[in-house]
Chain A
């Protein structure tokens, strides 16, 4: 090293400068190429999507407002009915929220076990860690609609297929998020508990859960927000709740737009409400941890 720096300062600066410039140029080239590929992908993707769509983008663009305007103006004309309709669809709303709540609850319990059994150092059967990880990967990869549609065929329409479908997906994705948390958990309490002869269940309950609970609850609340949306969407394919009512109201078409509007309002209000509540609690949980 010493030889190089001594062999002429002026040459060193020049070579450093030229190699730096070359590096910058190369980086710009790569950056430009990446950008170019990205733009080509976006433009060609848009063209393909536009071609395969029933109505074109530019024709449809000025019609975007038509449907909401129709719905809203009709709802405004019949605004006296709206409170009644909101009351009428309130049970459906409760069902949607219930689906989300139960599936989050069951999914969180499932995810808890999946994560504990799939984390090194915590697992009850260390040989099966990979199995539980794959299991949670697969459960996470299954879109809710797949399970829901199959279960609707077997169990008939209603909230239960949606609940099971969302719970499976929730267990998988929470399992992954939980295990990221529990990987960083302190293992010393476990050793202490093990020396007292505590069983695996007790070690997890007393040694690990108190450490990870704030993060777990925070993730679970986030999942609850997502699941409310999911349960509304699954209703649309026949699994009960607000989504189902929305599809029926829309199938009626003009004349019943006040019902569609009432459902829109309920859905919007619910999502915003639970988003706010959950984000407030999540903030509190993560703040409490930082202190």
Chain B
């Protein structure tokens, strides 16, 4: 090796090093530049102002707690008690929470020495430690109170409305009514609503205790009351989850059934005519490219909202995807096995059945099962658009912006559902094609 050769090699090596260095610094620099562009394109500085911390706090606290409303209608003077202020969560006549006492004067003990008293003639007394006794009188549409001019920031007051927020609970007073919200941790009435005779009974007393409802046996009655719980709607939720899984199942399996014969048409080895091959492939590309979103929109017009529309949208999109994957698998099938089968005098259909199918089935099954799991997630989203399944319930619960504990419940269920489908498809794959895959 001469000196010139060496020099050239060294030069080439240095150039290579330089290029690598450029790439090593260039790629992070490009990523950083892109992120900087996104920072302004997505208006992140403005986001801080748009973001509503109140909503975040409400979401964080409401999703694991509930409140009980004690409401006095200032026209009739009637006091009502309701969980979350809903009609379905109202305490039956003659019952009330045990932190409320008194007949003429209704005394509400919010805990921590915070006491609210509903006095006759629409007067209200609020006793908060470390603050002078607040007295409010409601008359017609306006309020008069003994609140000083200078208010702490947890009290907001005008002549029409007074709001007091304490760590123990919230108090709102208007001319028409006086309301106290007392917060408790947990999802109230998750098992039974207040009108059910099983409310407040433990598991032990339902299973082994004496008969609570004379007309029904304890277990059957409790199950039926829980299943038909009007606040949490367990039956509807179970149906919705079933619908979502059904969408995924019908869509995935239907797509696989349709895609398998079409894949033969698109595979080079089984379809000698170029035009048929090309047109089948274009068909696959087309249905895949149109995407589930557009298919959902189009199909919802024809079939209306519901699980069938979602299933068909998944079916059409995945027919394209499966067709592509299947035809690739078919092209990779081993020719020798087909030759062996045809040497026994097998007809073309038999050749496919015994020469090709056994080879590709593990690949196809693995893909189908993987898509089954991934389509469960898609079905949740498609359900939110087309109107079916748990996706719809979730969107509705979020849009009402008050039942955050239900939103939390649905989210937990959705995650469990997807994890179950993940586990189930993995288990099925293990059973059908062996663990080694």
Contact = CB atoms under 8 A, between A and B. Distances in A.
B301 A150 contact: no
Interface stretch (A21-29, A48-56, A194-202): A48-56
Interface string B133-163: 0000000000000000000000000000000
A259 to B, nearest CB: 13
Would you call the interface of chain A mostly helix, strand, loop, or mixed? helix
Given A45-B249, A229-B292, A154 B42 contact: no
B298 interface: yes
10 contacts: A45-B250, A49-B243, A49-B246, A49-B306, A53-B306, A55-B303, A63-B301, A150-B407, A268-B289, A275-B289
Contacts of B253: 38, 42
A189 interface: no
B311 A49 contact: yes
A89 interface: no
A245 to B, nearest CB: 12
A98 to B, nearest CB: 6
Nearest to A275: B289
Contacts, number: 177
Nearest to B377: A143
Nearest to A242: B293
Interface in B27-57: 31, 34-35, 38, 41-44, 47, 50-52, 55-56
Contact of A141 (B31, B35, B381, B422): B422
Given A52-B306, A102-B34, 14 more contacts: A38-B253, A42-B250, A45-B249, A60-B302, A63-B301, A101-B34, A138-B419, A155-B47, A156-B47, A156-B50, A234-B381, A267-B293, A268-B289, A271-B291
Interface of B: 31, 34-35, 38, 41-44, 47, 50-52, 55-56, 59, 243, 246-247, 249-250, 253-254, 285, 288-294, 297-299, 301-309, 311, 377, 380-381, 384-385, 387-388, 391, 394-395, 398, 401, 407, 411, 414-415, 418-419, 422
Interface of A: 38, 41-42, 45-46, 48-50, 52-57, 60-61, 63-64, 66-68, 95, 98, 101-102, 105, 137-138, 140-146, 149-150, 153-156, 158-160, 163, 229, 232-234, 236-237, 243, 246, 250, 264, 267-268, 271-272, 275
Contacts of A149: 384, 394-395, 398
A53 B290 contact: no
Contacts of B419: 137-138, 141
A145 to B, nearest CB: 5
A153 B291 contact: no
B47 to A, nearest CB: 6
Nearest to B415: A141
A163 B291 CA distance: 19
Given A160-B47, A229-B292, A41 B249 contact: yes
Nearest to B39: A102
A67 B305 contact: no
A101 B38 CA distance: 10
Contacts of B418: 141-143
Contacts of B31: 105
B301 A264 contact: no
Contacts of A234: 381
Contact of B414 (A101, A143, A237, A246): A143
B291 A156 contact: no
Contact of A158 (B35, B43, B246): B43
B309 A53 contact: yes
A146 B38 CA distance: 23
A160 B401 contact: no
A55 B307 contact: no
A227 B356 CA distance: 34
Contacts of A271: 288-289, 291
Contacts of B293: 229, 232-233, 236, 243, 246, 267
Contacts of B303: 53-57, 60
A237 to B, nearest CB: 6
Contacts of A243: 293
B347 to A, nearest CB: 20
A230 to B, nearest CB: 8
A145 B51 contact: no
A138 B305 CA distance: 30
Contacts of A48: 246, 307
A222 to B, nearest CB: 12
A57 B308 contact: yes
A153 B59 contact: yes
A54 B386 CA distance: 11
Contact of B302 (A66, A140, A232, A268): A66
Given A52-B388, A53-B309, A105-B31, A159 B42 contact: yes
Contact of A143 (B299, B309, B380, B398): B380
A138 B414 CA distance: 11
A150 B415 CA distance: 15
Nearest to A109: B31
A159 B250 CA distance: 32
B301 A66 contact: yes
A156 B250 contact: no
Contacts of A98: 38, 41-42
B42 A264 contact: no
B289 A272 contact: yes
Contact of B385 (A140, A233, A267): A233
A145 B391 contact: yes
A46 B42 contact: no
Contact of B42 (A66, A158, A232, A236): A158
B35 A102 contact: yes
Contact of B246 (A45, A153, A160): A45
A61 B384 CA distance: 22
Nearest to B401: A153
A250 B290 CA distance: 16
A60 B299 CA distance: 9
A234 B378 CA distance: 11
A140 B373 CA distance: 11
Given A48-B246, A54-B305, A156 B51 contact: yes
A257 to B, nearest CB: 12
Contacts of B307: 48-49, 52-53
B306 A54 contact: yes
